[in-house]
Amino acid sequence: MDYAALKALQPSEFEDAAAGYRATRDLVSGAKDILEQRIAGRMQADLEGEAASAALKQLRELWQNFHYVQVECGLLTTALTALFSEMEAAKKKLEAAVEDARADKMTVNADGSVSYPAGGEKVDGKVPEGGKVTGSAGGDRGGSPLDPVDPSSLADALDRQAAAQHPNPYFGRAIEYANRIAEAVKEATEADELWAPKLRRLTADDDLTVSAKDWIDVEKDTGGVRKAAKSYLDDIKPPPQHGDPIANAAWWRGLSPEEQDAYLSLHPASVGDLDGLPAEVRDEANRTVLAESRARVTEERTRLLAQEPTKTKVLYDPETGSPVGKVDTVEWTQWNDRKKKLDNAISGMDIIQRRFEQTGTGDLPKAYLLGFDPFANKDGRVIIANGNPDTADHTAVFVPGTKTVLGNIDDEIDKSDRLWRQSNKLAPGESTSTITWFDYDAPLSAKPGDSGHIDPEARHDSYASKAAPTLRHFLDGAEAAHRSATGDTAHTTLIGHSYGSTVIGDTTKYPSDYRVADDIIAVGSPGMQVDRAADLGLNPKHVWAMAGGGDDKWVREGGRLAGLGDNRVIPTDPAFGANLMESDSPSHGGFWAEENDRPSVSLENQAKVIVGRYDDVKLDREAHW
């Protein structure tokens, strides 16, 4: 780029283009939401069999198309905004230099050189003549022994020396203006050379199928734009380091819409993981993470299946040389472990996608993906909400227990769905959000016949104590986001099933500026690491417990023996002091049963607490304190 090109450049055209792509992004985002929230549910309700499956497949592909366009338009918006910022700065620098030169009675020529007039004291009876100088950018003026870090140091010194010795005082000032012009042109040229290939790369295949390769390319594009936009991002205040949710919420509110777009487009994983940010923002970021993760995992699994090593090797008796048996090879064992990880991730992502598509069926509201990582916490993580918790009147956070992994999260999401449906029926005119929170390593090792009938790993508090600060951080973030959106608080209920109640018990021990919850429900609890309901930080009348039949007794008693309850007191004990709710659950996992759309007593009691209808809760024993 030369002086004439920069002079003629209108940086606002980049800004206008960015606004156009932003509008397109918003348009396809709205179309995507309509597909998910209105059409998918109605289609599944009205169509059956092969027709329904085929239609849903086409709808899913169309949804992916819209999502892909939304993400790519977001990248283009940020790229063009960053380019506008750099070009606008260069253009202003150029205009300031030209204006200063003209005010000093000099002429800026078409090639960017500067002509200066005659001036100064007479030499041999003549006023020193005027002339013309051509500037040079600092980086083009050679190395410097004066300052090896600054290559323009020597050139600047020489310019000053020449100006001091020149008889015409305009000469030195002309060099200064010409150098400023050259610097502006150089900055604009560098920005053009940096961004032109990045923008050319942001193109899609000429087809209607968004493949895994397309999403992998999106991830690469994001990295490229993020690297190119470093100077632009450096001017934006970054998120607080190790910031608490309140600080995160304040940081996000302090950004302009353009700055928010930039962070959302270029750092989706980071934004999606920031407790305290709006649910809408985290959902959009995490859906991008989900799509890109699905592409990477699918590609890796395809490569892995093509490279399966030999499964077994023969063992021989060292003395006789006779074969004595077979064992799995180390290579195959490692290969199979990785395959299980990938299968778990894909299964979990399929479950999440199905929940998106179930919006509108059974009156389910939009799902918000508040956290996602297919390989975090050993078995993956997912936090997914029914309805927007930022604006809900009532919010319930459900913490699942043992043997939960991303690949079988559908059972836990289904429990949260049932809690939402029943709570919504009990509170017409009010909004409810139920959240499945799975962001910890749940105890997994279960062996039939183990003493106490409780998983061996679940006999220890280590998993719960490790999970507790993460849950506390999330709860504070949900509260901060709700206050940012409404200026008020929501009625919040924490529900822990099995070992999930142990996690909640440890969570209440962490101090915070916010309350942990308004109500706590312990379902089939093996212990909460406290021996009284009041030790949870709530009035015991807002602490609720529920027991089931069959194997639920063994889980509760196993927890007592393992010491998950302080002094071997568990929430269903009279000594604990909680409300003991009626339950018709026949087993440890039956507390959310429905039959012909009619809720069980166990499910209905939980829903009544969620919406604050305490007087309607059926009790076996009232709390005492």
- The rounded Cα 528 to chain-centroid distance in angstroms is 30
**Cβ atoms 366, 266 nearer than 8 A:** no
Element of type H or E holding 478 = helix 462-486
Exposed e or buried b per residue across 542-561, where buried means at least 16 C-beta atoms within 10 angstroms of its C-beta? bbbbbbbeebbbebbbbbbe
Indicate whether 450 pLDDT > 70: no
* pLDDT number for residue 237: 87
In a domain, 477, yes or no: yes
CA distance 312 to 296: 29
Indicate whether 585 pLDDT > 80: yes
Instruction: Give the SS3 label for residue 408.
Output: helix
CATH number of the domain where residue 515 is located: 3.40.50.1820
In a domain, 95, yes or no: yes
Percent over 70 (pLDDT), the chain:
92
* pLDDT number for residue 459: 62
**Cβ atoms 97, 180 nearer than 8 A:** yes
Gyration radius of the chain over CA positions: 33
* pLDDT number for residue 123: 83
Closest CA to 267 of 232, 298, 225, 299: 225
* pLDDT number for residue 589: 94
Of 51-60, 125-134, 359-368, least confident by mean pLDDT is 51-60
CA distance 399 to 397: 7
Q: What is the dihedral of CA 296, 297, 299, 304, to 10 degrees?
A: 140
pLDDT band, very low/low/confident/very high, at 146 (cuts 50, 70, 90):
very low
* pLDDT number for residue 452: 39
pLDDT band, very low/low/confident/very high, at 137 (cuts 50, 70, 90):
confident
Q: Would you state the structure tokens that stand for residue 290, as one six-digit string?
A: 């989900």
CA distance 159 to 501: 74
- Rounded average pLDDT over 572-582: 96
Closest CA to 503 of 469, 537, 554, 534: 469
Percent over 90 (pLDDT), the chain:
71
Indicate whether 47 pLDDT > 90: no
In a domain, 122, yes or no: yes
Q: Would you state the structure tokens that stand for residue 145, as one six-digit string?
A: 């022994």
pLDDT band, very low/low/confident/very high, at 455 (cuts 50, 70, 90):
low
* pLDDT number for residue 295: 95
In a domain, 25, yes or no: yes
The predicted-structure confidence for 495-540, as pLDDT tens digits, reads as follows: 999 999 999 999 999 989 899 999 999 999 999 999 999 999 999 9
In a domain, 40, yes or no: yes
User: For the chain, what's the residue count?
Assistant: 625
* pLDDT number for residue 625: 63
CB atoms within 10 A of CB 401: 25
> Which of 201, 235, 268 lies at the terminal end of a domain, its last residue?
201
pLDDT band, very low/low/confident/very high, at 187 (cuts 50, 70, 90):
very high
**Cβ atoms 35, 123 nearer than 8 A:** no
- Structural domain harbouring 106: 3-201
What contacts 17, CB < 8 A, 6 or more positions away? 80
CA within 13 Å, CB half, 529: 22
pLDDT band, very low/low/confident/very high, at 435 (cuts 50, 70, 90):
very high
**Cβ atoms 279, 481 nearer than 8 A:** yes
Closest CA to 545 of 562, 558, 530: 530
The alpha-helical segments, DSSP class H, found in 153-168 are 153-165
* pLDDT number for residue 471: 97
Closest CA to 158 of 141, 139, 133: 141
* pLDDT number for residue 268: 95
- Show the CA angle centred on residue 27, arms to residues 26 and 29, nearest 5°: 65
**Cβ atoms 261, 77 nearer than 8 A:** yes
Q: What is the dihedral of CA 26, 27, 32, 35, to 10 degrees?
A: 140
pLDDT band, very low/low/confident/very high, at 69 (cuts 50, 70, 90):
very high
In a domain, 314, yes or no: no
> Which of 201, 224, 242 lies at the terminal end of a domain, its last residue?
201
In a domain, 220, yes or no: no
CA distance 463 to 128: 85
* pLDDT number for residue 440: 95
* pLDDT number for residue 155: 60
* pLDDT number for residue 1: 86
Indicate whether 93 pLDDT > 70: yes
**Cβ atoms 339, 301 nearer than 8 A:** yes
* pLDDT number for residue 159: 67
The predicted-structure confidence for 365-412, as pLDDT tens digits, reads as follows: 999 999 999 999 888 999 999 999 999 999 999 999 999 999 999 999
In a domain, 28, yes or no: yes
CA distance 241 to 238: 8
> Which of 201, 216, 248 lies at the terminal end of a domain, its last residue?
201
Indicate whether 491 pLDDT > 80: yes
Q: What are the φ/ψ torsions at residue 354 (nearest 5 degrees)?
A: -65, -35
**Cβ atoms 579, 623 nearer than 8 A:** yes
Q: Would you state the structure tokens that stand for residue 417, as one six-digit string?
A: 């769905």
**Domains contained in the chain, number:** 2
Closest CA to 94 of 180, 13, 14, 173: 180
Indicate whether 447 pLDDT > 50: no
Higher pLDDT, 446 or 606: 606
Closest CA to 571 of 507, 521, 516, 617: 521
- For the chain, the average pLDDT equals 90
- Rounded average pLDDT over 554-570: 88
* pLDDT number for residue 49: 79
* pLDDT number for residue 149: 46
Q: Would you state the structure tokens that stand for residue 432, as one six-digit string?
A: 């409810």
Q: Would you state the structure tokens that stand for residue 222, as one six-digit string?
A: 């994001």
The predicted-structure confidence for 258-281, as pLDDT tens digits, reads as follows: 999 999 999 999 999 999 999 999
* pLDDT number for residue 164: 66
CA distance 360 to 24: 26
- The rounded Cα 278 to chain-centroid distance in angstroms is 11
**Cβ atoms 356, 367 nearer than 8 A:** yes
